[in-house]
Amino acid sequence: MSELPSPTLSLKVERASVSSRDALRLMKCMCGEIDELYGNPPASTPFDLSGMDAPGAVFVVARASGRAVGCAALRPLEATTAEVKRMYVVPAARKQGLAREIMRSLEEIARECGFSAIWLETGQRQPGAIRLYESLGYKRIAAYGDYKDDPVSVCFGKSLI
């Protein structure tokens, strides 16, 4: 794999269609990585786009020197709460501040849309993600929605006001 250019020089987080080629490629990579990480059979993580194109949902792609290296979605969860979904940065582009920039962009979008809080879920076997969210001021919250009975889920929330 070729070395990535320094993302600090030309990082751009932009809105994109959840069905774009870059979005689908990144989410497929994410699902494969999750399957491997949690010992699931290949292609067993649901590749579910439901809610990603619902009214009020936003999908973003992060580009380093024009190359799509990360993505995430923001969708309404409750009247004042948005949920982050499909947060992913390709392994070769990690530890360069890309995930932090994606999250900052999502927080800004959430504020613009009138949300006062963001919730998200990650897994116990993703300590890098847990550290990232904690470093951004997210606090652990009780499991919600589909995650209530999932023993490996770790849920976070952050007030935007």
**What are the domain boundaries of the chain?**
7-159
The tens digit of pLDDT for each residue in 74-102 reads 999 999 999 999 999 999 999 999 999 99
pLDDT at 40: 80
pTM of structure: 0.88
pLDDT at 44: 57
pLDDT at 109: 97
pLDDT at 3: 47
CATH 3.10.20.740 holds for 7-159: no
Query: Hey, what are 31's tokens?
Result: 């699902």
Query: Hey, what are 42's tokens?
Result: 């290949």
Residue 100: phi, psi to the nearest 5? -60, -45
pLDDT at 16: 94
pLDDT < 70: residue spans in the chain: 1-9, 43-51
**4 within 8 A of 67, measured Cβ to Cβ:** yes
Q: What is the length of the chain?
A: 161
